[in-house]
Amino acid sequence: MQDPPASGISRRDLLVVAGASLVTGPARSAPYAGADPNNATGVPDMPAAATVSFDINGASRTLELDTRTTLLDALREHLNLTGTKKGCDHGQCGACTVLVNGQRINSCLTLAVMHQGDHITTIEGLGTPEQLHPMQAAFVAHDGYQCGYCTPGQICSAVAVIGEIKAGIPSHVSADLNAAPRLTKAELRERMSGNICRCGAYSNIVEAIAEIAGRPA
């Protein structure tokens, strides 16, 4: 017969305690103040859906959406505006770039319900095949694309870049933050660095933007 363990707890007792803990589960933390007492999780209830209205390419649209729906998915899945592309879905490639109130954003990183009342422009709202936006025409003229997947985001971003330069907004490579930005290749490449082209059409993209800006690259 073996001597009992020095701790005074036998192997059988240890297994009984372990089994009981698996049945009862871990202890729950105290619920948040104001939480529904019938909510077992203790986390405040969140609405499953919400109504959001915004202006899309000049037309007023109202959607009933899950509050977790990104702006990108609202555009593609609910409004059938598939020109805006889903690339990395992590805000790293820029394929989903759209203009919100004139400023460029990654639509995969923002929720649709955050844009109540905003004016949103996608690639479909910039121009049509019959009447291209000047930036779209410049991309065609300078062959600023190959596979074309990133092109909608590139063009939306490029339109915003022109607006930023006209507004005098400096970039990380601007030598003088108080002076009007100079349209150099370094400036354009820096400002467009959030838009990735896997095909490598960067030099042609720079030429297209420079043409619209009216200054030499």
Q: Is the pLDDT of residue 14 over 60?
A: no
Answer yes or no: is pLDDT of 21 > 60. Answer: no
Given the candidates 1.10.150.120, 1.10.10.60, 3.40.50.300, 1.10.1060.10, the CATH classification of the domain at 130-217 is: 1.10.150.120
Question: Domains of the chain: which residue ranges?
Answer: 46-126, 130-217
Q: Which CATH architecture has domain 46-126?
A: Roll (3.10)
Is the confidence at residue 7, as pLDDT, over 60? no
pLDDT of 59 strictly over 60: yes
Concatenating the DSSP letter of every residue in 177-189 gives TTSPPP--HHHHH
- Is 50 exceeded by the pLDDT of residue 2? yes
Cα(54)–Cα(120) distance, integer angstroms: 7
Query: Residue 159 and residue 54: Cα distance in Å, rounded?
Result: 21
- Confidence class of residue 28 from pLDDT cuts 50, 70 and 90? very low
The region of weakest confidence among 33-37, 66-70, 82-86, 166-170 is 33-37
- Predicted local confidence at residue 155, as pLDDT: 98
N- to C-terminal Cα separation, the chain: 91
CA-to-CA distance for 124 and 156, rounded, in angstroms? 10
- Say whether pLDDT at 89 is over 60: yes
Distance CA 23, CA 110 (A): 41
Measured CA to CA, the distance from residue 76 to residue 56 in angstroms comes to 12
Structure tokens at 134: 């000047």
pLDDT of residue 27: 46
For residue range 116-168, what is the model confidence (pLDDT) as tens digits?
999 999 999 999 999 999 999 999 999 999 999 999 999 999 999 999 999 99
DSSP letter at 111 equals B
Percent helix, strand, coil in the chain (nearest 5)? 35, 15, 50
Q: Each residue of 190-211: pLDDT tens digit?
A: 999 999 999 999 999 999 999 9
